[in-house]
Structure 1
Amino acid sequence: MNPLLKILRSASALWPLYLGIFFSAAAVAGLSLVSPFIVREATDTIVSAVRGDTTPAAVTSTIVWLAIGLLAADVVRTLMDNVGGYVGDIMAARLRQILSTRYYAKLLALPQRYFDSQVTGTIIARLDRSITSITQFLQSGANNFLPMILQVGAILVITTIYYWPLTVLLALLFPIYMWLTALTSKRWQRFEGEKNEQVDLAGGRFSETVSQVKVVKSFVAEIRELGLFGKRFARTVEVTRPQSSWWHFMDSLRGVAMSLIFCGIYLMIFFRTLHGHFTLGDMVMLLQLVSMAKQPVFMMSWIVDTAQRAIAGSKDYFGVMEEQVEESANAQLVAATSASGVPSLVDDTPAPLAPQPGQPVIELDDVSFAYEEGKPVLDGVSFHAVQGGTVALVGESGGGKSTIVNLLLGLYSPTAGRLSVCGHDVASLTSEQLRASVGVVFQEPYLFSGSIRENIAYGKPEASLEEVIAVAKRANAHEFIEAFPDGYDTVIGERGLRLSGGQKQRVSVARAMLKDAPVLILDEATSALDNKAERAVQAGLDELMKDRTTLIIAHRLSTIAGVDTIVTLDEGRVDEVGSPDELAASGGIYSELLALTASSSEADRQRLKRYGFVGDTSLDS
């Protein structure tokens, strides 16, 4: 139960709801105990009349008032039960809000390395399963089990007053039940963990398949994907068989043990009544009280089952929550992972850094980096870019181009050397300061569901419509946007599915323009487009590059022919640095690429592809 208590403590902002649940549960428990006492009085009163100790007429009014008392107790208990249920429902909803927000905040604060080894769908499935199991258990416990537990506590006090051995037998029920449950738990948890793993993997694959359904259909892979998905759940069925048989075998043992103890309790009450120690009213009352205690004991089987699932789910939740966040993660994100309530989040994105006069805007000084220890991707890389300059990175796939982009975006930190942006060592900057100063246009535009206006203003949500239109015009996007019936309010669907590749890319260019960062990264921004779309996007890119320091990774030589500096990379090391004209005559990698573009042989074309150059690679295209 420690993980569940840990969750309750971590959500301490809900203490008024916890108190509300406790007091309503106490009221329900107390009012439930009124009925057996009233029934005892009614029983003894009726027995006295039947035996002739008094007349029926004399006790009629008493019986009526006792019946009214039963009615009043039941009505008030029902009202308090529903008040407690309402508070419990609100607590569960608030708890889900806090846990979900905290989980999301934690994910946003985690470094890129964490996501490199995760499947998106699995992350989502883990959130849904973990938090659903936790909140369902706490909600059911608050609404149903807590009143019963308080009720049992009161019953033990009452039975002690009447006959303490009866209390001993009743009290034995709980340690015996929990001991038998502890014997069940460890093995059951292991089975449940294996099932959760299969469900998470199935959910991850489901998300991947749905998000890339065009690929699945184009390769006629529907049956194969369905088979893989079905195998995951088939495995959960295989695991459920031994898990369920073990659980129900142990549950049968618990049930038999409980029945034997209740048999002893009933015999004790019957014999005490038979020998005159209890009146008939006492016996009826005690039997009612024992029946009331019996219900939560046998209900413990369901509660423990639900608790086991919640604990198993909470392990995955806390596994994520214990991950190390980025050292410079947004303070509000970190607060959201640890605060007792959900903080009021205010977008406090820092202003972009200003280039320092006389200093390079981008500078790598002997930078090395490895994703895995002992496997360097960059080795002693050094180059710089001045204000307003353009630098192109050229090299074979896997040569380190994208890694340099990742370092500039603060997704990773250099393992050695110094990287500076706008005259500041990135080691001294927060990730927010660095990213606010770097704009990027990816090969894949990565648009969100929502309107075109929202996507353009993603980096500056407070931007006016006039500002959005202004950058859209500069990005060569205004014309096609206005052609839609809803214009800038057009909803483009998930990942911008309603737009063509060129249209999506122009929206992403406008988005980068509105961010207005001094450093711009063009990461293969036109490689996936046809010539016509490329020209439209390139016009927007040319406008975007004005007065910015730009780093380009290109898949077409035509896009880097006019840059100021080319840096060629060979297996993570700088091979050459110079202008296009200088490197064209140097005999190095760039010179080789120029020669390959003039060749029509298939071998040379394959060689070009090793450098990531595809499609039209001519300099005059």
Structure 2
Amino acid sequence: MSASARPADAARPAHDEGTFATLARIVRFTGELRPYYLVVAASAIVTAAAGLATPFIVGRATDVIVSAVQDGRGTGALPTLVWLTLAILAAELLSTVVSNIGGYTGDVLSNKIRAILSTRYLDKLLRLPQSWFDDEMTGTIVSRLNRSIAEVSNFAKSMANTFFTILIQTAAVLVISAIYYWPLAVMLAVIFPIYVWLTGLTSRTWQRLEADKNHHVDSAGGRFAEVIGQIRVVRSFTRERHELDTFTGHFDRTDSTTKEQSRHWHSMDVLRRAVLNVMFAAMYLLIFYRTLSGGFSVGQMVLLIQLIAMARMPVEMMSWVIDASQRAVAGSRDYFRVMESAEVEHVAAMPALPQRREDAPVLEFEDVRFGYGDGPDVLKDVTFDVRRGERVALVSESGGGKTTLVNLLLGLYPLRSGAIRLDGIDIATLPAQELRRRISLVFQDPSLFSDTVAENIRYGHPHATPDEVALAASRANASGFIEGLDGEFDALIGERGLKLSGGQKQRISVARAMLKDASVLVLDEATSALDTRSERAVQEGLEALMAGRTSLVIAHRLSTIAGVDRIVTIKDGCVDEIGSPAQLAHSGGVYAELLAMQRRGEDSYLNAYQTTQ
């Protein structure tokens, strides 16, 4: 089942932990960035202190002016006011410089958070079992990465550049207000928890709607990647309108969800801000009354009004902060859900190789039973072996389990029972890298990367020299067309090798397997998608590749396996027959039936051709 078919799962939080607990988890997850967090915090403290100095200086200047006017001194107070003005300038310059240091550090911190979360995400994906990818769309995985990490890093940047400083200023305002008149401090202290409580009332509904919206965004992104990656298929079946409607449908759902989400949020915001308006009006009235009764000087009144205004800003910004933090929390939950997925388990160390006889099998499949997930068995009690230097072909009808056996040999899925041994060692006890280092594969789909010809050939042997790369290409019968490319081995071949023909891509794949030079070779439908001329060119390279190697061959075209030593036929998930091509050609089994069908097809084509002449 694809990710697009599971909205319920997508909307279910990985944890029921609160916003602050989730944000603290992000900080712990990026613990190596602690020096950056400390610089941001220190910058915020200095900036807040410089900002708090201004109201005190303005208040003092107000009292000086009032006193000078009352005493009739006029310009006599000017020197004092000049010094106070210079003090305001110094405080603001300090705030400007330090806030920008904090902003710079915050920008770097945000980018480093993005880098850490991104690289750890890829590292995690590379260690997840193949079954995890079977349930996910590639585009959805990419969309989740981009969305989740962008929301987390943007929130960190905003916190570092803006809100952290204001939060420190607000805490200082509480203390200063308590010094001048404790009822003001009490009222300020009450506002924050009331506001947070009112905001918390919307949190559960908001996050449920946000998760549903994220699901559709990720699904749309996943489908988008599939459509672009298979644009020729889309056009050949004239499905452009269908794909556009499907893509639009996801965003139509996000539009309706956003309206519901925003309506809910802003309806509550009216209530929250109305409470704030009443509370701050009461504080202003209290300050005015206290000044009128002689409790505050005019300068102190100006000071307190400025302090209250400074405290009001973060309270009114709380909606934005909580909105941004909840987006970060929702994104991080999707991120951490992936990070907590179970990984492929392998023993940490390579076991000692046992002493083996020269005639012992290189590959052994013993009573192998396997099925996908909770589904029925696909393979049942499969037993056969491949001896050193032997070529063994797997034959079955389409969907008979041949490729599944290759996936099991690579350790991509765990067996339900039985064992697969490589060089006498149960592959379940081998580290994945060691297992796959010993096996070279040539797939039906060459699976090339958007890089140069040389780098694609070198993919299995990164440190190969140019001469070794050229030799592998020559042996794979690929040198001819490579020399005709603009740039030859340095030519860029485009995404998935789109600038090359099918036969050219496959010959690069063969060269890649040659350069890896593993002792066991697996050919999985390596020529089934090629025309006759390309197949012959690739087959020449495959013959050179198989020379001296233990080979397991899967092919639909029976002519490509006529030269193998033995054939293992699989029927209904079980081994049906084992024998040479000559023995099985007349046994009446799966191979004989497929061979007869192929010959009838060739005879029909020949008769039709002769009729037209």
Q: Which whole-Å deviations, capped at 9, do the CAs of 1:276-335 have from their partners, x for residues lacking one? A: 00000000000000001111110111111111111111111011011001102999xxxx
Deviation of 1:351 after TM superposition, in Å, equals: 14
Deviation of 1:23 after TM superposition, in Å, equals: 0.2
1:262, 1:107 → 2: CA distance? Answer: 51
2:62, 2:353 → 1: CA distance? Answer: 83
Structure 2 unaligned segments of length 5 or more: list them. Answer: 1-19, 607-613
Deviation of 1:503 after TM superposition, in Å, equals: 0.2
The residue aligned with 2:216 is: 198
CA contact (8 A) 1:527 1:556 kept: yes
Going from structure 1 to structure 2, the CA distance change for 1:351 and 1:538 (only over 3 Å counts) comes to: farther
The residue aligned with 1:248 is: 266
Over aligned residues, Cα RMSD in angstroms?
2.0
1:408, 1:604 → 2: CA distance? Answer: 38
CA contact (8 A) 1:330 1:432 kept: no
Instruction: Specify the SS of the correspondent of 1:278.
Output: coil
Deviation of 1:603 after TM superposition, in Å, equals: 11
The residue aligned with 2:179 is: 161
CA contact (8 A) 1:354 1:518 kept: no
1:95 aligns with 2:113: yes
The residue aligned with 2:404 is: 403
The residue aligned with 2:539 is: 538
Q: Which whole-Å deviations, capped at 9, do the CAs of 1:570-593 have from their partners, x for residues lacking one? A: 011000011111112322111222
1:381 aligns with 2:385: no
The residue aligned with 2:569 is: 568
Structural mapping, 1:509-588, within 5 Å: 509-588=510-589
Deviation of 1:601 after TM superposition, in Å, equals: 9.6
The residue aligned with 2:503 is: 502
1:301, 1:603 → 2: CA distance? Answer: 75
1:594, 1:289 → 2: CA distance? Answer: 90
2:577, 2:146 → 1: CA distance? Answer: 51
1:73 aligns with 2:91: yes
1:120 aligns with 2:138: yes
Instruction: Specify the SS of the correspondent of 2:345.
Output: coil
2:88, 2:491 → 1: CA distance? Answer: 63
Q: Which whole-Å deviations, capped at 9, do the CAs of 1:383-406 have from their partners, x for residues lacking one? A: 000111001001112211111000
Dislocated runs of 4+, deviation >6 Å: 349-356, 601-605
2:131, 2:38 → 1: CA distance? Answer: 42
Structural mapping, 1:328-347, within 5 Å: 328=346
- Match of 1:263, as an amino acid? A
The residue aligned with 2:17 is: none
Structural mapping, 1:65-464, within 5 Å: 65-328=83-346, 357-373=358-374, 375-464=376-465
Q: Which whole-Å deviations, capped at 9, do the CAs of 1:102-157 have from their partners, x for residues lacking one? A: 11111111000000010000000000000000111111011100000100111111
- Match of 1:38, as an amino acid? I
Deviation of 1:354 after TM superposition, in Å, equals: 11
CA contact (8 A) 2:522 2:552 kept: yes
- Match of 1:406, as an amino acid? N
Q: Which whole-Å deviations, capped at 9, do the CAs of 1:166-213 have from their partners, x for residues lacking one? A: 100011111011000110110011111111111111000000000000
Going from structure 1 to structure 2, the CA distance change for 1:352 and 1:242 (only over 3 Å counts) comes to: farther
Going from structure 1 to structure 2, the CA distance change for 1:429 and 1:512 (only over 3 Å counts) comes to: same
2:347, 2:524 → 1: CA distance? Answer: 24
CA contact (8 A) 2:353 2:425 kept: no
Deviation of 1:477 after TM superposition, in Å, equals: 0.4
CA contact (8 A) 1:368 1:379 kept: yes
Deviation of 1:535 after TM superposition, in Å, equals: 0.3
Structural mapping, 1:5-84, within 5 Å: 5-52=24-71, 55-84=73-102
Q: Which whole-Å deviations, capped at 9, do the CAs of 1:57-109 have from their partners, x for residues lacking one? A: 33111000000110111111011110000000111011111001111111111
Going from structure 1 to structure 2, the CA distance change for 1:330 and 1:298 (only over 3 Å counts) comes to: farther
CA contact (8 A) 1:356 1:423 kept: no
2:217, 2:211 → 1: CA distance? Answer: 10
1:235, 1:190 → 2: CA distance? Answer: 14
2:548, 2:261 → 1: CA distance? Answer: 66
Give % identity.
53
CA contact (8 A) 2:354 2:424 kept: no
Going from structure 1 to structure 2, the CA distance change for 1:306 and 1:61 (only over 3 Å counts) comes to: same
The residue aligned with 1:337 is: none
Deviation of 1:221 after TM superposition, in Å, equals: 1.1
Count residues in correspondence: 587
The residue aligned with 2:4 is: none
Deviation of 1:600 after TM superposition, in Å, equals: 4.3
Deviation of 1:164 after TM superposition, in Å, equals: 0.6
2:247, 2:345 → 1: CA distance? Answer: 38
Comparing 110-119 with 421-430, greater Cα deviation is found at 421-430
2:509, 2:500 → 1: CA distance? Answer: 12
2:569, 2:216 → 1: CA distance? Answer: 45
- Match of 1:194, as an amino acid? D
- Match of 1:312, as an amino acid? A
1:356, 1:177 → 2: CA distance? Answer: 77
- Match of 1:534, as an amino acid? E
1:599, 1:161 → 2: CA distance? Answer: 100
1:24, 1:587 → 2: CA distance? Answer: 83
1:198, 1:353 → 2: CA distance? Answer: 53
- Match of 2:210, as an amino acid? E
The residue aligned with 1:336 is: none
Going from structure 1 to structure 2, the CA distance change for 1:273 and 1:33 (only over 3 Å counts) comes to: same
Deviation of 1:350 after TM superposition, in Å, equals: 13
1:604, 1:357 → 2: CA distance? Answer: 48
Comparing 123-132 with 476-485, greater Cα deviation is found at 476-485
Instruction: Specify the SS of the correspondent of 2:106.
Output: helix
2:532, 2:247 → 1: CA distance? Answer: 40
Going from structure 1 to structure 2, the CA distance change for 1:330 and 1:136 (only over 3 Å counts) comes to: farther
1:577, 1:103 → 2: CA distance? Answer: 45
- Match of 2:501, as an amino acid? S
The residue aligned with 1:589 is: 590
Deviation of 1:372 after TM superposition, in Å, equals: 2.9
2:357, 2:123 → 1: CA distance? Answer: 34
Deviation of 1:373 after TM superposition, in Å, equals: 2.8
Going from structure 1 to structure 2, the CA distance change for 1:459 and 1:350 (only over 3 Å counts) comes to: farther
Instruction: Specify the SS of the correspondent of 1:326.
Output: coil
- Match of 2:577, as an amino acid? E
CA contact (8 A) 1:352 1:518 kept: no
Going from structure 1 to structure 2, the CA distance change for 1:175 and 1:590 (only over 3 Å counts) comes to: same
1:354, 1:389 → 2: CA distance? Answer: 21
Deviation of 1:412 after TM superposition, in Å, equals: 1.1
CA contact (8 A) 1:353 1:518 kept: no
Structural mapping, 1:601-616, within 5 Å: none
CA contact (8 A) 1:352 1:433 kept: no
1:541, 1:487 → 2: CA distance? Answer: 22
TM, length-normalised to structure 2: 0.93
2:21, 2:122 → 1: CA distance? Answer: 23
CA contact (8 A) 1:350 1:436 kept: no
- Match of 2:523, as an amino acid? L
Instruction: Specify the SS of the correspondent of 2:527.
Output: coil
2:441, 2:199 → 1: CA distance? Answer: 56
CA contact (8 A) 1:328 1:431 kept: yes
Deviation of 1:461 after TM superposition, in Å, equals: 1.1
Deviation of 1:352 after TM superposition, in Å, equals: 12
Instruction: Specify the SS of the correspondent of 2:455.
Output: helix
- Match of 1:413, as an amino acid? P
